[in-house]
């Protein structure tokens, strides 16, 4: 597999030579070419396409390259952030802003309920999951988005991300340093009521409900005046200014026969919530050596260490952010003795169950040290002219440990009088062997490129869990399993193994670079399915017509290149198959009564019914696109329209109790993703000391559930709000994970409006409603009181459009990079409203969002917040409705960087090769209508937000130097 990308945009100075990527080309006389035939003299770009490379003009599939402009100036956690907004067709959704979190990356949609995530291939090595790569080691990224990804077979339906890391260059040793230091801050905070407001609002809510006889002492200003004294702004107490530090050191060099690159990285990120942080150490060595004219050997090796501390912000009960919103502001953080405060014991019952949010965060003790190691030697042999054999081997290890100590909570409010320690070990080892043959032949204007290969991959996952209880001392020195006093201990372990064997072939043909056809196929065999279903075939066919090479286009000088292309293929989805689907493990039960003289015994049995007919899913993909460049290649455009049909998804269906099994995995369903993508880039000509470039990406997507497993609807109950609001469904004919509930029509302004709200039969629809309550709409044609049959589709959390815009400018020694990113059309279910605007409706008397001060009253009718009443008697908050569904669209200035490179005469005096200083900021501002903490709430809860860890705004100062 080729390791180099050769850029098309190069500058040439007569007699000085031309450097293209990592290949040095001696001086060439460009002046000998005619100025009016710029198409012929332009140097074509080489792109990585999977097990090889192609000239970009000869690519017939949908292959996009990710813009990496000013990447080194940004401090990024992983490859997901590199891709966000930079590649058309790639949607990156951050799962909140936790420093240890990983964004969800999708290529051309979700691909169904268990659609494949993208397959990552780094320097030819196929990874399981997302690799822990240092973004600063990345040289370039190509994304296979259509049927061309079928060359990777059973795991390719989610697209393929091909990453090439940096290589050494011929020449003397160079050493590059990059140092970053900065701060993280919250860009937006919600505000709760102060102590006096809290007491007054709760008093009013009890009075409006006719419950003053039951008013808790905590909200009686005369009897409990201390409750009116604001001592703590809990939201400000749990947030902090976090520090960012990152250091990169790169060494590279080489000769005619050997080249090497060494990269070292350390990153330490303090989260904006107390006691949350992430750190990373990364070390990489890439080298390549020409041993003989016919033999090239090399290796890629890296080691990554990561660790961190994270907080639960998804729980609607004890999440850090919701806890800060509802904790009473009259309570201090600490007692006079320095211990954490709890609720005042005399009035604690009036507030309800709640925890001190600062105590919760400072007690977090979760350590997750993870080691990732890659060893990848390879050899390439030239058997004859343009006939090569490549042998590639890699061994990847992931060694992960989790140590989670849960401390006692002695404070009045929500007491936990026990503690526990949990250890987990999760280790994975993957061996990959690839043997590839390539052959190129040209005859007149006919060009052929052949590929054939065999690959084998084996993965072993194993680990254990142990948990003990009751530690008399919580000091860190005593946090080991053997120190637990309770003899009740839990232990479990596992070991899974899977193998994948593959045969692959591809033929690329073109006539004079004008008419292009590509045929590829792959046969995969997996140990995850039964023997008779073990192998499956995947294939793709694509073609392209380079219209600009036709004679009738030669006189159109402003069109540099124009190509139309199309593709069709079948790709695999192995990711949805569980290791227990075909051969389920048995579980142990200590309480089974059987035998001639029935007695309690230990028994082993399976709860999942085996399915020997199970096979992996597949994806049928069709793509039509065009590539064009204009104005002497300064303006380029890429457009694609695609349809992706994902079939035979893996469903775990419930079985009747008479079957003796709980469930079984089956193949079923059809899901469709379709849309279009646009990428535009413009590179200006240099005018004096000034030049600039502009890039934009735009992706539109619509996903539809076409068919499920013998049902038309699936209810999702795992992401509800405190067990009350469960809005998410999967329904045939609609988008995945859509919200269903009542449409509303404002707020009743008078009792007359309530009395006149009737169905076609003259029956009151909301007979118990009062002025100030939400008006819930009946579904057209329905009669009677409100019920679940009146639910309608309220939208879904996946964006309809995602986009990015970048601007790069250089003027003299200054450089500027501006990067905007955004999404449009997605919905967020704001579950915070249920907790923070609902006095007593959760069963607890929590403090509330200041927005409650805008609740409906006869004097304040221009509002969407219903009347203030304790206990929610009219169900304003307990009913799922569009009251909770908000527009999740946003436009965010993701990055702004300003740099200055010292003049050559100055840095030469310092005996260095270059010196650049810069300042950069992330998430400087955000334009959104969403009223929660942050619109990037993620997809792991299907867009239901109960106070997700928000994205941070950062300011960073950096220095780059080269020796």
pLDDT in tens, 914-956: 899 999 999 999 999 999 999 999 888 999 999 999 999 999 9
Residue 44: burial class (beta carbons within 10 Å; 0-12, 13-18, 19+): middle
Helix (H) or strand (E) holding 696: strand 690-707
Any idea how long the chain is? 963
Question: Tell me, what DSSP letter sits at residue 910?
Answer: T
Q: Is a pLDDT exceeding 80 seen at residue 201? A: yes
- What is residue 274's predicted lDDT score, i.e. its pLDDT? 96
pLDDT at 911 over 50: yes
Examine the pLDDT at 42 and tell me if it is beyond 90.
Answer: no
**In terms of residue numbers, what domain contains 461?**
365-513
Q: 796, 670, 669: which is closest to 729 by C-alpha? A: 796
Q: What is the pLDDT of residues 440-497, one digit of tens each?
A: 999 989 999 999 999 999 999 999 999 999 999 999 999 999 999 988 889 999 998 9
Residue 848 forms part of a structural domain: no
Q: Which of 623, 499, 796, 665 is nearest to 114 (CA)?
A: 665
**pLDDT band at 8, cuts 50/70/90?**
very low
Task: Give the single-character DSSP code of 146.
Answer: S
Angle at 589 between CA 583 and CA 592, to 5 degrees: 120
The pLDDT confidence band at residue 33, using thresholds 50, 70 and 90, is very low
Contacts with 460 (C-beta within 8 Å, 6 or more apart), sequence order: 428, 429, 430, 495, 496, 497
Cβ–Cβ < 8 Å for 282, 304: yes
Examine residue 87 and state whether it is found in any structural domain, yes or no.
no
Which region among 21-30, 188-197, 833-842 has the lowest average model confidence (pLDDT)? 21-30
Q: 649-681: buried (b, 16+ CB within 10 Å) or exposed (e) per residue?
A: bbbbeeeeeeeebeebbbbbbbbbbbbbbbbbb
Answer whether residue 705 is part of any domain: no
pLDDT tens digit sequence for 881-896: 999 999 999 999 999 9
Helix (H, G, I), strand (E, B) or coil at 950: coil
Asked if residue 669 lies in contact with residue 650, where contact means CB atoms within 8 angstroms, the answer is no
pLDDT tens readout for residues 243-275: 999 999 999 999 999 999 999 999 999 999 999
Please state, in angstroms and as integers, the Cα–Cα distance from residue 341 to each residue in 223, 247, 478, 507, 596, following that order. Answer: 22, 40, 25, 71, 60
Whole-number Å distance between alpha carbons of 495 and 119: 23
SS3 content of the chain, % helix, strand, coil (to 5): 10, 45, 40
pLDDT digits (tens, 9 = 90+) for 647-662: 988 888 888 878 788 8
- Nearest CA among 476, 474, 583 for reference residue 528: 583
Average pLDDT, the chain: 90
- DSSP class of residue 150 equals G
Q: Which of 204, 439, 197, 435 is nearest to 330 (CA)?
A: 197
Report the percent of the chain where pLDDT is more than 90.
72
pLDDT score for 385: 93
The DSSP secondary structure of 182-241, one letter per residue, reads EEEEES----B--HHHHHHHHHHHHHHTT-GGG--GGG-TTT-GGGG-----HHHHHB--
CA distance 875 to 861: 19
Q: Which of 127-131, 592-596, 623-627, 893-897 is predicted least confidently?
A: 592-596
Cα distance between residue 191 and residue 851, in whole Å: 8
- Let me know: does 817 contact 895? Beta carbons within 8 Å: yes
Instruction: Name the H helices within 786-845.
Output: 832-836
pLDDT in tens, 152-194: 999 999 999 999 999 998 889 999 999 999 999 999 999 999 9
Number of domains in the chain: 1
Give the C-alpha separation, 505 to 781, whole Å: 58
Q: Who has greater pLDDT, 932 or 26?
A: 932
- When pLDDT is averaged across residues 818-845 and rounded to a whole number, the result is 94
Per-residue model confidence as pLDDT tens digits over 404-420: 999 999 999 999 999 99
Would 12 be classed as within a structural domain?
Answer: no
Say which residue, 371 or 47, is predicted with more confidence.
Answer: 371
Q: Under a CB-based contact definition with an 8 Å cutoff, are residues 768 and 878 in contact? A: no
pLDDT of residue 268: 96
Share of the chain above pLDDT 70, in %: 95
In a domain, 904, yes or no: no
Evaluate whether residue 559 is within a structural domain.
no
434 assigned to some structural domain: yes
338: left (phi over 0), alpha (psi -120 to 50) or beta: left
Region 311-335: mean pLDDT is 93
Q: Per-residue pLDDT averaged across 300-328, rounded?
A: 93
Nearest to 160 by CA among 272, 51, 7: 51
- Residue 617 burial class via C-beta count within 10 angstroms: exposed 0-12, middle 13-18, buried 19 and up: buried
Report how far apart, in Å, the C-alpha atoms of 356 and of each of 98, 344, 362, 400 are: 20, 12, 10, 31
User: CA-to-CA distance for 707 and 648, rounded, in angstroms?
Assistant: 10
- Please check whether residue 576 is in contact with residue 631, taking contact to mean a CB–CB distance below 8 angstroms: no
Residue 67 has pLDDT above 90, yes or no: no
Which run of H or E residues covers position 40?
A: helix 38-41
Identify the pLDDT of residue 685.
Answer: 86
Is 384 inside a domain boundary? yes
What are the pLDDT digits (tens) for 662-710?
A: 888 888 889 999 999 999 999 998 888 899 999 999 999 999 999 998 8
- Give the per-residue pLDDT at 910: 78
For 104, the enclosing helix (H) or strand (E) is strand 104-107
For the segment 589-604, what is each residue's pLDDT rounded down to a tens digit?
A: 777 777 777 777 888 8
| Residue 72: half-sphere exposure toward Cβ, Cα within 13 Å | 23
Residue 576 reports pLDDT greater than 80: no
Please, which pLDDT band fits residue 44 given cuts at 50, 70 and 90? Answer: low
């Amino acid at each position: 597999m080729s390791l180099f990308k050769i850029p098309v945009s190069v500058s040439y100075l007569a007699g000085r030579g031309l450097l293209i990527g990592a290949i040095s080309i001696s001086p060439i006389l460009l002046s000998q070419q005619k100025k009016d035939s710029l198409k012929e003299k332009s140097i074509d770009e080489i792109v990585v396409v999977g097990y090889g490379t192609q000239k970009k003009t000869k690519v017939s599939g949908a292959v996009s390259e990710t813009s990496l402009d000013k990447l080194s100036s940004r401090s990024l956690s992983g490859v997901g952030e590199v891709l966000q907004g930079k590649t058309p067709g790639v949607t990156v959704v951050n799962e909140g802003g936790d420093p240890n979190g990983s964004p969800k990356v999708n290529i051309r949609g979700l691909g169904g309920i268990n659609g494949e995530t993208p397959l990552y291939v780094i320097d030819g090595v196929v990874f399981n999951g997302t690799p822990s790569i240092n973004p600063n080691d990345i040289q370039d990224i190509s994304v296979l988005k259509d049927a061309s990804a079928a060359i990777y077979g059973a795991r390719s339906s989610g697209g393929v991300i091909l990453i090439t890391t940096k290589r050494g260059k011929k020449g003397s040793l160079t050493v590059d340093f990059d140092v970053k230091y900065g701060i993280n801050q919250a860009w937006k905070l919600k505000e709760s009521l102060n102590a006096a407001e809290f007491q007054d609002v709760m008093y009013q809510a009890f009075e409006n409900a006719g419950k003053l006889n039951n008013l808790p002492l905590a909200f009686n200003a005369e009897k409990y005046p201390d409750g009116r004294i604001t001592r703590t702004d809990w939201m400000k107490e749990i947030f902090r200014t976090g520090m960012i530090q990152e250091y990169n050191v790169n060494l590279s060099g080489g000769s005619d026969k050997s080249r090497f690159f060494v990269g070292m990285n350390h990153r330490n990120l303090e989260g904006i919530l107390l006691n949350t942080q992430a750190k990373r150490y990364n070390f990489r060595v890439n080298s390549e050596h020409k041993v003989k004219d016919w033999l090239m050997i090399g290796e890629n090796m890296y080691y990554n260490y990561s660790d961190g501390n994270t907080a639960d912000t998804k729980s609607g009960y004890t999440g850090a952010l919701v806890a800060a919103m509802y904790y009473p502001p009259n309570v201090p953080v600490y007692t006079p003795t320095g211990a954490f405060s709890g609720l005042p014991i005399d009035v604690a019952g009036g507030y309800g169950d709640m925890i001190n949010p600062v105590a919760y965060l400072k007690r977090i003790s979760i350590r997750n040290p993870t080691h990732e190691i890659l060893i990848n030697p390879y050899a390439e042999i030239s058997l004859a002219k343009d006939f090569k054999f490549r042998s590639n081997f890699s061994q990847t290890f992931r060694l992960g440990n989790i140590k989670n100590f849960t401390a006692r909570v002695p404070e009045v409010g929500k007491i936990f009088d026990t503690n526990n320690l949990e250890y987990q070990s999760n280790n994975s080892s993957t061996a990959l062997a690839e043997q590839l043959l390539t052959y190129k032949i040209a005859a007149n204007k006919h060009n052929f490129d052949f590929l054939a290969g065999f690959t084998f991959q084996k993965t072993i996952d194993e680990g254990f869990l142990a948990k003990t209880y009751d530690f008399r001392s919580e000091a860190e020195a005593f946090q080991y399993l053997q120190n637990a006093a309770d003899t009740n201990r839990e232990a479990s372990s596992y070991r899974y193994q899977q193998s994948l064997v593959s045969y692959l072939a591809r033929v690329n043909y073109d006539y004079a670079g004008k008419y292009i056809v590509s045929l590829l196929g792959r046969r995969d065999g997996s140990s995850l399915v039964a023997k008779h279903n073990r192998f499956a075939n995947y294939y793709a066919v694509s073609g392209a017509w380079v219209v600009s090479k036709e004679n009738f286009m030669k006189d159109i000088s402003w069109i540099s290149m124009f190509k139309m292309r199309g593709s069709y293929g079948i790709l695999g989805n192995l990711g949805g198959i569980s290791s227990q689907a075909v051969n389920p493990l048995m579980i142990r039960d200590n309480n089974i009564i059987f035998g001639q003289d029935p007695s309690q015994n230990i028994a082993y049995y399976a709860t999942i019914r085996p399915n020997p007919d199970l096979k992996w899913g597949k994806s049928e993909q069709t793509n039509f696109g065009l590539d064009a460049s204009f104005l002497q290649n300064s303006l380029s455009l890429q457009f694609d329209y695609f349809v992706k049909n994902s079939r035979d998804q893996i469903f775990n269906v419930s079985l009747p109790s008479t079957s003796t099994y709980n469930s079984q995995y089956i193949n079923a369903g059809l899901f469709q993703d379709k849309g279009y993508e646009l990428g535009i880039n413009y590179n200006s000509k240099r005018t004096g000391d000034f030049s600039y470039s502009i890039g934009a990406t735009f992706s539109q997507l619509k996903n539809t559930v076409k068919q499920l497993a013998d049902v038309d609807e699936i209810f999702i109950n795992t992401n509800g709000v405190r067990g009350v609001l469960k809005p998410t469904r999967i329904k045939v004919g609609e988008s995945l994970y859509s919200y269903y509930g009542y449409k509303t029509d404002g707020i009743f302004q008078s009792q007359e409006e309530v009395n006149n709200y009737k169905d076609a039969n003259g029956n009151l629809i909301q007979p118990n409603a009062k002025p100030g309550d939400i008006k819930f709409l009946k579904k057209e044609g329905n009669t009677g009181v409100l019920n679940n049959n009146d639910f309608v589709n309220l939208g879904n959390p996946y964006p309809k459009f995602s986009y990015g815009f970048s601007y790069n400018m250089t003027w003299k020694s200054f450089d500027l990079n501006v990067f905007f990113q955004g999404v449009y059309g997605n919905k967020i279910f704001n579950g915070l409203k249920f907790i923070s605007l609902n006095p007593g409706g959760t069963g607890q008397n929590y403090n509330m969002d200041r927005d409650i001060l805008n609740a409906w009253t006869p004097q304040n009718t221009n509002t969407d917040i219903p009347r203030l009443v304790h206990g929610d008697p009219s169900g304003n908050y307990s009913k799922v409705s569009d009251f909770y569904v908000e527009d999740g669209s946003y436009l965010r200035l993701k990055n702004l960087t300003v740099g200055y490179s010292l003049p050559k005469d100055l840095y030469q005096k310092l005996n260095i090769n270059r010196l650049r200083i810069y300042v950069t900021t992330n998430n400087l501002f955000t334009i959104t209508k969403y009223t929660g903490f942050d619109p990037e709430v993620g997809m792991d809860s299907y867009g239901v937000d109960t106070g997700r860890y928000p994205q941070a705004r950062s300011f960073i100062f950096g220095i780059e130097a080269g020796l």
